[in-house]
Every structure is written in C-alpha cells, then in structure tokens.
Amino acid sequence: MNMSVIDVMKERRSTRAYLDKPVEREILERLLSLATQAPSAINLQPWEFVIVSGEEKKRLSKLLVKRMRERNISCGPGAKKPLSEHFVERQRGLLQCMLPNLPEGTRFDDFINEGSCNFYGAPTAIIITLDKVFSSARLTDIGITLGYLVLAAHVMGLGTCPIGLITAFDDDIREQLNISEEKQVVVGIAVGYRDESSPLNKSRSDRVPVSDVVKWRE
C-alpha cells in the first residue's frame, strides 16, 4: 500500500485474465471513494457508477457476448476517417505485444471482442455513466475518474481493464441494469484479482517517446 504514485503509473497495465475470486463490497467502496477524489470542472463530479457483481455480472456478460455475435460489433478506434500511419503503428504495437501470449489458434479480434464483452472473466464490472444533460465536454471528467480508478485499484492489489467496446450496446446495458434513458453509458471497467499465472497478463504495452507527442513553444 505504500507505492508512490509514480511507481503505480509506471507499473499499471490492463489485466485480461482474472482469478475466480469475488472482490468484497468494502474493497469496492474504498476503490470508488478514491476514484471520486478526481478533479472535475466546477467540482460537478458528473460521474455515476453502476457496480455489477455476482449473478448479475454473469447475466450482463452473457447478454453482451450474445449481442456482439448477433451484430458483429468489433473493438475499433472510434475514428471519423481512416487513421494516419503513426496511429495504425501504435495499434499494431498492441497486437504484437499481446499476440504471443494468446492461447494458440485464438484470433486477436475474437479474443478482444469476446473478452471485452465478458469483462475478461473479472468478477466485477463497473459501468460509468454521464447524465445526458451534459455536453461531451464532461467526458473529460469521466476520463479522469477512470484514470484515478485504475491507479487506485493497482495500489489495492486489483487488476482492471477499461472496456469501451460495450458502449455499442448501451440500450441493452441500460435495460439490463435498469439505468435511466437520461444517462449515457460512457465506459465499462473490469475489476478483479489478477491471475498472475496467466500468460495473458504478461503482455506489457509500450508508449511512444514523449518527443513524438509533445511540441514545445518558447
């Protein structure tokens, strides 16, 4: 529990294999109390969380996997036009780092699509919603609380994986979890104990050098 923030930022990576061990409610409450320390515009704290565990999580995963197969939805970059080569290269980098650790014969896309809809077998799925009264500017605040959550989870010995794919099924999620029409499903997060023995958790994505994404003006 006494890792520095810098250690946590460097160490954390997404978890795509979990132990079959529930995360206790008190632990999830602590996690959420840390995630909600995030800054937000005018301190609006526009985020809302739905915590899905136990049988309800199994039902949700089953529904999402079914819908994904029916509608042939796939994880994509959410881009408005074809991506430039440097973005494509980063995507390729993720594929290359994960591919050697996938079970033999598994297609990368199938693993990501099915895995995402199943929250990679994590015992808990967290759904973050935003009231539709807000403009897309408030998605920034959701991103920050997501960042706090994944870092806090890491310190607490929990693995996480943000899951954007499920937003393709926002109507189904709202219906299944009794979430009001007034809320937008922004992102899901798989939360659970990491299966350290799984090769899937050995993959470590890289980052481009800071100089590739920074311009200095003096």
Ligand X SMILES: Cc1cc2nc3c(=O)[nH]c(=O)nc-3n(C[C@H](O)[C@H](O)[C@H](O)COP(=O)(O)O)c2cc1C
Give residues in contact with ligand X (CB under 6 A): 13-14, 75, 94, 112, 116, 161-165, 187, 205
Q: Which two tokens stand for residue 210?
A: 């800071």
**Least distance in angstroms from the C-beta of 216 to ligand X:** 25
CB-nearer residue toward ligand X: 25 or 69: 69
CB-nearer residue toward ligand X: 23 or 128: 128
**Least distance in angstroms from the C-beta of 94 to ligand X:** 5
Looking at beta carbons, which residue is closest to ligand X? Answer: 164
- Find the radius of gyration of the CA atoms of the chain: 18
**42 φ/ψ angles, rounded to the nearest 5 degrees:** 50, 25
CB-nearer residue toward ligand X: 17 or 51: 17
Q: Which two tokens stand for residue 57?
A: 């999580």
**Least distance in angstroms from the C-beta of 69 to ligand X:** 16
Residue type, 191: V
CB-nearer residue toward ligand X: 98 or 217: 98
Residue 189 CB coordination number (10 Å): 23
Compute the C-alpha angle 152/155/187, nearest 5°: 35
